Structure 1
Amino acid sequence: MLLAERYRTSEILGHGGMGEVYRGCDELLGRPVAVKLLRPDLTDPFAAARFQREARAAAMVRDPHVVAVYDFGHSNGEYYLVMELLEGRSVAHELALHGPLPVDRAVDIVRQVARGLAAAHRHHIVHRDIKPDNLLIDVDGSVKIADFGIAHSPGGSITPASSGLILGTSLYLAPERALGHPATPATDVYALGCVLYQLLTGRPPFEGENPTVVLSQHVQASPAVPEEVPVPVADLIRRMLAKEPAERPTTDEVASWIFFDPRNATTAELPPPPLRRNRRAVFLALAALLAVLAAVTIGVLTAQNPGTPPAPTDVAPSHAPRPSASPSRVVTTPTATRTTTRTPPATSARPTAKTRPPATSQPATKQPPGKHKPKPGKTDKR
């Protein structure tokens, strides 16, 4: 089929409640596309308006985790919506093939969806139908939100709510929606929590023989999270499935949530802690620091004890000035007591015998032998 003399459809890729999706080609731009056609057998009088609203809502959100919308129109009696073509499969198909997913993969899918929902919520758009069938996985593993057919967007004046119908899928419907209250961004968070539960267990949190029973459980029952689910993830599920919308995290908080399971580091979202990751580098840095401290300590000790001078050939008087521990020396002359600081040559590593003060460097006035200078305050009785 050729639509608007531009889009040619071929094989069918899938179908939903409102329409069928075909593989197509934009012959004007020469690129592959996905073309969604509104089902002609629909008796819903709001179907065309909802289809157009889906196109407008999806076109408002530009995010890597939302399927891009290229065009919308009416041709040959058909309403069509031209979108980005993804070669992968839906999350529902992934669950059907492999069953429950590993924790890291389930958390990764939910975080990607939360990023797309956060972008939609910034435009005041509530998806209202988050479920595995509307989450598409591309060939590179990225996840994108599709089907904004029942999304609530600003200026959406036409809505089937006036007919008394509750929009959405009962398995993922928030309690406030089951009670007939308006949808909010917290409504999408609840549905995404149901998806996370199903990704980990293979089944939705609430099931029953008919939608009424399921809706009643959403309102009254608490989900039973299996024990094999890691505690941090189980806590996140309970928060996302809180009965009160105000108690649920925002999509930004879910998108930035970090999970690390110490029981199995291979399924962690984060790399090991920095100390564990750079243990070799830390040890090398500590060794280098110890080497520097040792070198500084040896240098200080060497400066304080430059060496032991050779033993003198004669014994200097006890009252003669002793050589200073520093490289400089003090010389006393007979005529006046004067301190002179002399710096020895750089090549003199140790003091020699010549550096000792001369034996004649004594005070000019000497006491006679056997005579002692009387101490102050005492008299000589001799």
Structure 2
Amino acid sequence: MSAPLPPDLVFREAALLSELVSETQWRAAVSEVKRDRKAAGTPPPVSDDDRSVVCDEIETILIRDEIITPYQATQLRAGRTKLTLGPYLVTEFIGQGGMGQVFGGVHEIMGRRCAIKVLPLDKSDELARESFNREIRLQASLDCPYLVRAFDAGREGSVHFLVTEYVPGTDLRQLVKDSGRLSVQQASSIVAQAAAGIAYAHESGLIHRDIKPANILVTPDGHAKVADVGLAALMFVPDDDPRAGKVVGTADYLSPEQIRTPDQVGPQCDIYSLGCTLYYAITGKVPFPGGDSRSKCKRHLTQAPWDPRKYAPELTEAYVEIIADMMEKDVRKRIQSAAEVVRRLSPWASIHPDEGEAWLAELGISLPDEEQRPRKNDPSRAVGLNDVSLDDDLSWKTSGAGEGTSPSHPVTLTDEHSASSGALSSITGDAPPPPLPEQHGDRHTPAGDLAYDAASASTLVTPPPPPVVSHRPMVSRNVLITTLIASLLVGGLAGFTLAVLLKI
């Protein structure tokens, strides 16, 4: 069994086989590394650790020159050369979504940046494929500035993928984790825009059913978009939904009716989840922290969360009333439409002029620009808030808890992930980003299969050439006859001589 290649040679062979790096680009990077190491008096690499350092230096140059991305470098150094899905070149790993991994990519011809959601092979059963195909069809039918748009869908081998617009920035969950709880203006603006997108989905006959901070993407300039509409159910055709009758969503943001009667949910379930999301954005806390998913479900049914002023004392009574009305456990007392949420939050919200402004105008909603807002009228700056007494055991005024029961339906609860389709999120933790799923028939050379010659490890060993086939010269007919006659004569003469000698 041949020995594996050292790290620098694995990197080189994978980079060239992937066609992301040309021979000329590789040689230029190596030459620069050699010059720098010679100038610094660094000795030539000897051990694999030394060669890994050389790989780091080559990788830095290739990334600096925008030849490869950090994600591609990680995959190439592991010996992986498969970095495409259909016509899309994968450039980064964004995160793990409820329906699979999400990668960033670029269309090889159009050059358009996009997000690629890949259905994992271990979830490619009939239900998962049906849900995934449903998500593709649903997202393709939606066109709203506050919803992540779908561009394309495809299949390569056994891998199914959905291509959506790429939303630069982060998601609301990561934003709060990184920056702490948001200001009233910032939280209101983000949630109001998300509510506008949800209003559009509801008008199209769709319910999202998994509204949560991780599914609200926020650009650096504050534009918000709702992602992962694919878990939606057709309000009037529940039999067409493969997930109908199951508890679907994230436990921290589930409405009571999703837990109690998941097959009879309406648009108001999204209003409740959006209220929980606003609570999280404004306080930095989920409504019911601690406990497992089942205990969270029970508390959604029977308990009220802490008054948000416990964590955000600047909130006014009017603002707390909006959150309470969104999180009413009694569906009949809850705010009835997402458009009404936008209107209720508009005194605190501000947006930048963009394509969404005209869309909001069609709903009769006009959110003023931040520069035009008179600060003296900002209700969040009302005086007298310090007079509000909040006891540690105070439950705020969300009413209608009702009799709660544990969910009696199949539960399909998901953890909240830090990245959703279309969101640009940094990879945290020490775990390396995952490769693309292996495809049946996908042939790339793994690092363990590469071989090298220890005596000349500075260059890649080319495979041995095929054996040379020797071509025999043609023999003419006359030469063949002459040779045959001569053989007969020699054979006859030899026989006569032998007879004489034996005196036969």
Alignment TM-score, normalising by the size of structure 2: 0.50
The one-letter code of the counterpart of 1:216 is K
The answer on whether the counterparts of 2:182 and 2:282 sit within 8 Å (CA) in structure 1 is yes
The Cα shift of 1:54 comes to 1.1
**Residues 201-230 of structure 1, C-alpha deviations (whole Å, 9 max, x = no match):** 111112341111111111111232233122
User: Residue 43 and residue 8 in structure 1: after superposition, are their counterparts in 2 closer, same or farther (change >3 A)?
Assistant: closer
Q: CA RMSD in A?
A: 2.4
The answer on whether the counterparts of 2:115 and 2:163 sit within 8 Å (CA) in structure 1 is yes
Partner of 1:239: 325
**Residues 265-284 of structure 1, C-alpha deviations (whole Å, 9 max, x = no match):** xx989723999xxxxxxxxx
The Cα shift of 1:43 comes to 6.4
Task: Note if 1:272 corresponds to 2:374.
Answer: yes
Task: Note if 1:3 corresponds to 2:105.
Answer: no
The Cα shift of 1:174 comes to 0.3
Of all paired residues, the percent bearing the same amino acid is 34
Residue of structure 2 aligned with 1:210, choices 288, 292, 296: 292
Residue of structure 2 aligned with 1:171, choices 244, 252, 256: 252
The Cα shift of 1:44 comes to 5.2
**Residues 48-99 of structure 1, C-alpha deviations (whole Å, 9 max, x = no match):** 1111111222222211110110111211211010110112111111011011
The one-letter code of the counterpart of 2:373 is P
The one-letter code of the counterpart of 2:243 is P
Which structure has more relative contact order (CA 8 Å, sep 6+)? It is 2
The one-letter code of the counterpart of 1:248 is R
C-alpha distance in structure 2 between counterparts of 1:85 and 1:217, whole Å: 36
Residue of structure 2 aligned with 1:47, choices 128, 135, 142: 128
Aligned length: 267
User: Residue 271 and residue 140 in structure 1: after superposition, are their counterparts in 2 closer, same or farther (change >3 A)?
Assistant: closer
Task: Note if 1:68 corresponds to 2:154.
Answer: no
The Cα shift of 1:15 comes to 1.1
C-alpha distance in structure 1 between counterparts of 2:193 and 2:183, whole Å: 16
User: Residue 260 and residue 145 in structure 1: after superposition, are their counterparts in 2 closer, same or farther (change >3 A)?
Assistant: closer
User: Residue 260 and residue 52 in structure 1: after superposition, are their counterparts in 2 closer, same or farther (change >3 A)?
Assistant: closer
Partner of 1:252: 339
The one-letter code of the counterpart of 1:127 is H
Counterparts of residues 126-141 of structure 1 (less than 5 Å): 126-141=207-222
C-alpha distance in structure 1 between counterparts of 2:320 and 2:257, whole Å: 22
Task: Note if 1:57 corresponds to 2:143.
Answer: no
Counterparts of residues 329-348 of structure 1 (less than 5 Å): none
The answer on whether the counterparts of 2:139 and 2:230 sit within 8 Å (CA) in structure 1 is no
Partner of 2:199: 118
User: Residue 225 and residue 269 in structure 1: after superposition, are their counterparts in 2 closer, same or farther (change >3 A)?
Assistant: farther
The answer on whether the counterparts of 1:20 and 1:39 sit within 8 Å (CA) in structure 2 is yes
The answer on whether the counterparts of 2:170 and 2:219 sit within 8 Å (CA) in structure 1 is yes
C-alpha distance in structure 2 between counterparts of 1:55 and 1:225, whole Å: 40
The Cα shift of 1:128 comes to 0.4
Task: Note if 1:26 corresponds to 2:26.
Answer: no
Partner of 1:77: 158
The 3-state SS of whatever aligns with 2:231 is coil
Alignment TM-score, normalising by the size of structure 1: 0.65
The one-letter code of the counterpart of 1:171 is D
The one-letter code of the counterpart of 1:159 is P
**Residues 171-202 of structure 1, C-alpha deviations (whole Å, 9 max, x = no match):** 10000111024221100000000000011111
The 3-state SS of whatever aligns with 1:256 is helix
Task: Note if 1:221 corresponds to 2:303.
Answer: yes
The Cα shift of 1:246 comes to 2.3
Task: Note if 1:142 corresponds to 2:227.
Answer: no
The answer on whether the counterparts of 2:189 and 2:348 sit within 8 Å (CA) in structure 1 is no
The 3-state SS of whatever aligns with 1:149 is helix
C-alpha distance in structure 2 between counterparts of 1:239 and 1:152, whole Å: 24
C-alpha distance in structure 1 between counterparts of 2:197 and 2:144, whole Å: 6
The answer on whether the counterparts of 2:233 and 2:244 sit within 8 Å (CA) in structure 1 is no
The answer on whether the counterparts of 1:186 and 1:246 sit within 8 Å (CA) in structure 2 is no
Residue of structure 1 aligned with 2:272, choices 190, 215, 222: 190
C-alpha distance in structure 2 between counterparts of 1:43 and 1:77, whole Å: 9
Partner of 1:230: 316
User: Residue 196 and residue 44 in structure 1: after superposition, are their counterparts in 2 closer, same or farther (change >3 A)?
Assistant: farther
The one-letter code of the counterpart of 2:291 is E
* Structure 2 segments unaligned to the other structure (5+ residues): 1-82, 350-368, 378-504
Partner of 1:365: none
The one-letter code of the counterpart of 2:196 is R
C-alpha distance in structure 1 between counterparts of 2:299 and 2:172, whole Å: 24
**Residues 299-319 of structure 1, C-alpha deviations (whole Å, 9 max, x = no match):** xxxxxxxxxxxxxxxxxxxxx
C-alpha distance in structure 2 between counterparts of 1:69 and 1:135, whole Å: 16
C-alpha distance in structure 1 between counterparts of 2:192 and 2:119, whole Å: 31
Partner of 1:160: 243
C-alpha distance in structure 2 between counterparts of 1:247 and 1:56, whole Å: 34
The answer on whether the counterparts of 1:173 and 1:218 sit within 8 Å (CA) in structure 2 is yes
C-alpha distance in structure 1 between counterparts of 2:149 and 2:250, whole Å: 23
The answer on whether the counterparts of 1:174 and 1:191 sit within 8 Å (CA) in structure 2 is yes
The one-letter code of the counterpart of 1:187 is C
The Cα shift of 1:259 comes to 2.9
C-alpha distance in structure 2 between counterparts of 1:226 and 1:187, whole Å: 21
